[in-house]
Amino acid sequence: MEGDLANCNSGKFVLLYMSMHIILFGRLVDIAGSSVLVGDVADTDSLINALHNTYPALAQAKYVIAVDKQVITSNTLLNEKSVVALLPPFSGG
């Protein structure tokens, strides 16, 4: 399922072996309607494209992308074990 994303906030345990996870933070959770998504894409650029197509409001949001807990600045290859995190900036104090 190339470029596929699935929402996995079913409220129940979902066992997802061998599946790339995308963790969302802050307001991005509201946009996607879930704090965790699963996907199957080749790299971060394709992931972002797929996410923006599925959730157009995400394209307007500011966020930083981390792959396996390392913030990335350019397209990065992903595999089925990758954990991708999208973090928006917070202003509150």
Partner 1 sequence: MSNANSYERYHRQTILPGFGEEGQQKLLKAKVLVVGAGGLGCPALQYLTAAGVGTIGIIDDDVVALNNLHRQVLYSVNDIGFSKAERASHILGQLNPEIKILSYNERLLTQNALLLFDDFDIILDGTDNFSTRYMVNDACVLLRKPLVYGAISQFEGQLSVFRNENDDDVNYRDIFPDPPKEGEVLGCDEAGVLGTMPGIIGTMMANEAIKLITGIGEPLVNQLLTYNALSNQVYQLSLSARNETHSLIPKNETEFLRTDYLWLCSSPMSEEEIDAETFNDLIEKGNVDVIDVRELQELPEANDFANIKIPLAQLANNAGEIRRDAVITFCQTGNRSLQAAKILKGIFGKDKKIYSLRGGILEWSRRKQYERKKA
The residues binding partner 1 (CB under 8 A) are: 23, 25-27, 35, 60-62, 64, 66, 69-71, 73, 85, 87-93
Residues 28, 63 contacting (CB under 8 angstroms): yes
User: In sequence order, which residues have a C-beta less than 8 Å from that of residue 41 and are 6 or more positions away?
Assistant: 2, 3, 4, 20, 47, 50, 78
User: In sequence order, which residues have a C-beta less than 8 Å from that of residue 4 and are 6 or more positions away?
Assistant: 39, 40, 41, 50
Q: How far is the CB of 1 from partner 1 (least distance, A)?
A: 26
Q: Which is nearer to partner 1, 56 or 89 (CB)?
A: 89
Q: How far is the CB of 35 from partner 1 (least distance, A)?
A: 8
Q: How far is the CB of 2 from partner 1 (least distance, A)?
A: 27
Q: Which is nearer to partner 1, 11 or 92 (CB)?
A: 92
